[in-house]
Amino acid sequence: MTPPADQDADQTAAEWDAAMTGENQDGDAAAKAEDDLASDWETMVEGEGKTVDPGEMTNAARESSRVLNQDEIDSLLGFDEEKHEGEENAGIQAILNSALVSYERLPMLEVVFDRLVRLMSTSLRNFTSDNVEVSLDNIASIRFGDYLNSIPLPAMLSVIKAEEWDNFGLITVDSSLIYSIVDVLLGGRRGTAAMRIEGRPYTTIERSLVERMIHVMLGDLSAAFEPLSPVTFRFERLETNPRFATISRPSNAAIVARLRIDMEDRGGRLELLLPYATLEPVRELLLQMFMGEKFGRDSIWETHLAEELWLTDVELEAVLDHQVMRLKDVFDLRVGSRIMLNARPDSDIEVRSGTIPLYTGKMGRRGDHIAVRIDGKAKKRP
């Protein structure tokens, strides 16, 4: 048998062992919870710099690490590289361009530019003595400031003025067309591409030849607008720095017509910019659907209108006399007050329709009614 003292010692040792085992289990659980919390924090911090697999994160960390990818950012801003031609802008880009007016609301403007293309094809052939083909690439609306920032340099910018409209426009000639014109006019050999020298300013000869070409184009531009509205475009100055060719506020809308000029294996681009403020005097004419939009006479409608006019009711007033009084005297009128008229029973009476005098006559009586006998037509007042 085990002595009672030994039994108490064994029981005490067993209790100590149980207590130590429980403490170790509690400590392991606490340590594991702390490790899980530290892991969550580490995952959240790493999620700020890179995309983490959602399956490896807790809900709290997954909610805080939502990052937009590049496609979503482009879609939000409206800069979609895969957008096809003709599709409308979206996102912030659509909001920025919402204030621009599309040139399609001015149908006659495209007709004018088509006439310009035909006239320039003939005049540039006579000017260069070469086979010149002019084509219209597109017509677009753009902010003036955005256009200046998009001009590829080097280029020549010609400021033109519409005399009758008292406003300005801009013609931009790119470097390839400048060198092509110089090459053609000075007898360059065909089949050789125009040499482009970077960093060299344009010479006086180049500027003079380009200016002559612009004068030819301005004559054609005036002729293109002639059937719509007579206008004279005059050459103002030639600039090579877009900042010196500012003719409108950067936020103002303008219409840009991009022309392509081909001279066999040479050529380049030419752009015509007209601010909407310049076209404002002829805006009503540009809204027409075709040249000289006027309809012929409609005899059926004229007959119907004439018949309805004969059936129209007109209210007539017989005026005995009229008085001019001060406002003070008018306010002093009371019940029983008398206004003396400068008329007698045989005085002439004026018959009016509104404020327009029609007839004159005499006042009389027929039965129980007061009558007016028409004597003639009233004289029109000056």
Q: What pLDDT was estimated at residue 369?
A: 85
Average pLDDT over residues 353-368: 85
Provide Rg for the chain, Cα atoms. 45
Quick check: 97 and 276 in contact, CB under 8 A? Answer: no
d(CA 65, CA 341): 94
Angle formed by the axes of helices 204-225 and 107-128, nearest 10°: 140
User: According to DSSP H, which parts of the chain are helical?
Assistant: 4-47, 59-64, 70-77, 91-96, 107-128, 144-150, 175-185, 204-225, 276-279, 283-286, 299-310, 327-331
HSE-up of residue 282 (Cα within 13 Å, Cβ side) = 24
d(CA 55, CA 235): 70
Average pLDDT over residues 351-375: 85
Higher pLDDT, 308 or 11: 308
Quick check: 116 and 221 in contact, CB under 8 A? Answer: yes
Sequence ranges of the chain with CATH classification 3.40.1550.10:
103-286
Q: Which residue has the tokens 């004289």?
A: 379
Q: Indicate if the pLDDT at residue 29 is higher than 60.
A: no
Count of C-beta atoms within a 10 Å radius of residue 304: 11
Q: What pLDDT was estimated at residue 49?
A: 47
Sequence-ordered list of residues with C-beta below 8 angstroms from that of 182, at least 6 positions apart, any chain:
188, 194, 205, 206, 209, 210
The three-point CA angle 200-206-211 to 5° equals: 130
How confident is the model over 234-293, as pLDDT tens digits?
999 898 888 888 888 888 888 999 999 988 778 888 999 999 888 888 888 888 766 555
Q: What pLDDT was estimated at residue 37?
A: 55
Q: What is the DSSP letter of 224?
A: H
Quick check: 238 and 212 in contact, CB under 8 A? Answer: no
Fold of 103-286: Chemotaxis protein chec (3.40.1550)
Q: Is 276 helix (H, G, I), strand (E, B) or coil?
A: helix
Average pLDDT over residues 98-115: 73
Count of C-beta atoms within a 10 Å radius of residue 230: 10
Q: Which residue has the tokens 């690439």?
A: 137
Average model confidence (pLDDT) for the chain? 77
Quick check: 191 and 154 in contact, CB under 8 A? Answer: no
Q: What is the DSSP letter of 300?
A: H
Q: What pLDDT was estimated at residue 212?
A: 92
d(CA 167, CA 280): 10
How confident is the model over 337-352, as pLDDT tens digits?
888 888 777 788 888 8
How confident is the model over 126-184, as pLDDT tens digits?
988 888 889 998 888 888 888 888 888 788 899 999 998 889 999 999 888 888 888 88
Q: What is the DSSP letter of 193?
A: P
Quick check: 15 and 23 in contact, CB under 8 A? Answer: no
Q: What is the DSSP letter of 341?
A: -
Q: Indicate if the pLDDT at residue 192 is higher than 70.
A: no
Quick check: 364 and 375 in contact, CB under 8 A? Answer: no
C-alpha torsion angle, residues 238, 244, 246, 247 (rounded to 10): -50
Tell me phi and psi for residue 229, to 5 degrees: -160, 125
pLDDT band at residue 116 using 50, 70 and 90 as cut-offs: very high
Q: What pLDDT was estimated at residue 19?
A: 55
Higher pLDDT, 327 or 73: 327
Fold of 303-377: Surface presentation of antigens (SPOA) (2.30.330)
DSSP β-bridge partners for residue 233: 162
Q: Which of 289, 251, 296 is nearest to 105 (CA)?
A: 289
Q: Is 14 helix (H, G, I), strand (E, B) or coil?
A: helix
Q: What pLDDT was estimated at residue 59?
A: 54
DSSP β-bridge partners for residue 157: 172, 239
